[in-house]
Amino acid sequence: MTTRRLRLAAQIAALGVVAALLGLLGWKLLQGESEVTSELARGGAPEAPAFTLERLDGGGELSLASLRGKTVVLNFWASWCNPCKDEAPLLQEASERWAAKDVVFVGIDVKDFRGDARAFVERYGITYPNVYDGKGSTIGRYGVTGYPETYFVDPDGRVRHRIAGPVDSAEEVDEAIRRALPPA
Amino acid sequence: MRLLAAALAALALAAPAAASEQRPTASELESELVCPVCETTLDTSNAPVALRMKAFIRERIDAGDTKSEIKAKLVADFGPAVLAVPPRKGFDWIAWLLPLGGLAVAAVAVGAVAWRWSRRGEEPAPEPLDPELERRLDDELERYE
């Protein structure tokens, strides 16, 4: 009887361990799946995940919430990423062109050295705010799959469009911004 | 005598560890740090960020930094996930304790099974059959031969 009980307890424990491991696997898979990219793919307008990150220029922190009411262009980049270098001048020009229309550009430097990132900003003459996310805490929530990637957030804080890979032309940026602008 | 041998062995092991801490090589650091993009150790990665990190490690070694200082600088920028082996503190202890716990449970299970097997040999021999019953059984068996 005791042996039978012991065997039953061992079987229950083994099942518990397997269930826990399966749960862990499911949790990990769900973590990898970003609601932003999946909802955008379904034609929706997901809420842009909030963040508060240190500014690369040393001017304290910048939060996405502080930009509510403006159209925000979020560009994920890194100094070691070659396509990021190609698109940098284009994004800087676009930020100047749209500044008067309440469109704010924000660069999020991910998985990078702070020093390299600051040198990058200086080299390409980028004047819009850039924040530092060395640990990459934002990329999973946004569903960033490579660098660069750009997200267009409307004044209500909803992601309206995403460009995976480098921005190729001024027209492409302008068109994406128009999608995130409030109705005229 | 045994104590002296143990002390000498501990000294022999401690000396290379101290040398490694004070004068780390690029290859050992590259095997202890992870590329944050491809999530493999630096020595097996040629991703752009891994190449940049390898260059940084060489710069810091040339500047005379210790192994801990180099790792601390990389953790400051990229977070603790760049360490191939988690630090022994806080929640990260679980990464060290879980395998040990698993080993302990497995050892107890193997011990219990071995104990039961060893006890099987000690079970008392079955009682001899009644002579009359044994004779009848032999007779019956003979009929089938």
Residues in B closer than 8 angstroms to A81, CB to CB, are: 48
CA distances from A17 to A14, B23, B93, B108 (A): 5, 44, 20, 16
Please give, rounded to a whole number of angstroms, the shortest distance from the CA of A44 to a CA of chain B: 29
Task: Tell me, yes or no, if A91 comes closer than 8 A to chain B by beta carbon.
Answer: no
3-state secondary structure of A35: helix
**What Cα–Cα distance (Å) separates residue A96 from each residue in A69, A77, A104, A125?**
19, 19, 9, 12
| Token couple for A103 | 């469109």
What average pLDDT does chain B have? 86
Q: Name which of A144, A118, A165, A80 is nearest B45 in CA terms.
A: A80
Q: For residues A90 and A125, is the Cβ–Cβ distance under 8 A?
A: no
Predicted confidence at residue B97, as pLDDT, reads: 82
Q: Would you say residue A1 has pLDDT above 60?
A: no
Q: Tell me which residue of A23, A67, A41, A42 sits closest to A145, measured CA to CA.
A: A41
Please state, in angstroms and rounded to a whole number, the distance separating the CA atoms of residues A82 and A79.
8
First to last CA, chain B: 73
What local confidence, expressed as pLDDT, does residue B29 receive?
A: 97
The distance between the two most distant Cα atoms of chain B, rounded to a whole number of Å, is 97
- A171: confidence class by pLDDT, cuts 50, 70, 90: very high
In angstroms, rounded to a whole number, what is the distance separating the alpha carbons of residues B89 and B92? 6
| Rounded Cα distance, B25 and B29, in Å | 6
**Structural domains in chain B, sorted by start:** 20-85 (1.10.8.640), 88-145 (no CATH)
pLDDT digits (tens, 9 = 90+) for A14-66: 899 899 989 888 876 666 567 899 899 999 999 999 999 999 998 899 999 99
Written as one string, the DSSP assignment of B95-112 is HHHHHHHHHHHHHHHHHH
ipTM of this predicted complex? 0.77
Would the CB atoms of B78 and A81 count as touching at under 8 Å?
no
Please enumerate in sequence order all residues whose Cβ is within 8 A of that of B60, keeping only pairs 6 or more positions apart, or say none. Answer: B69, B70, B73
User: pLDDT of B27-50, one tens digit each?
Assistant: 999 999 999 999 899 999 999 999
Distance CA B22, CA B1 (A): 32
> A85 touching B, CB under 8 A?
no
Grouping H, G, I as helix, E, B as strand and the rest as coil, residue A77 is: strand
Q: Which residue of B has its CA nearest to A144?
A: B37
Asked if A126 and A55 touch (Cβ cutoff 8 Å), the reply is: no
